Structure 1
Amino acid sequence: MKPINLNQARKAKTRAEAKAKADENAVRFGRTKAQKVLEATQAQQASERLAQLKFEDD
């Protein structure tokens, strides 16, 4: 049986858990650059449309 370095094993386990959590968060919260640009464009178009429809009584 080969002896193992407990510090290395502990650190490897911690790294694996952090990577798993990061992957989970990327799926939950992550968006691609294209998705971000599309959403920003849609928001800008919506605000421009709202400004066009605004009724101002002078």
Structure 2
Amino acid sequence: MKPVVESYVPPAGIRHAVTAGETWISLAKRIGIDPWDLIEFNFPGIKLVKQRDFQ
């Protein structure tokens, strides 16, 4: 699997400058989705990696 380039912006994505104290969990909660869905949206294919090797 290829790494996602740093400049990647998902289709329909909204740029967000992360601030101190924010987490995937807090960001996902704010928009009402599962944190892993938010991570997958930003880093396509990561759920597959997680399923194969959680560490």
Asked if TM exceeds 0.5, the reply is: no
Relative to its length, the structure with more helix (as a share) is 1
Name which one, 1 or 2, has greater alpha-carbon Rg: 1
* TM-score category (smaller protein): under 0.3
The TM-score normalised by the length of structure 1 is 0.21
Q: TM-score, normalised on structure 2? A: 0.22
- Say which structure, 1 or 2, has more relative contact order (CA 8 Å, 6+ apart): 2
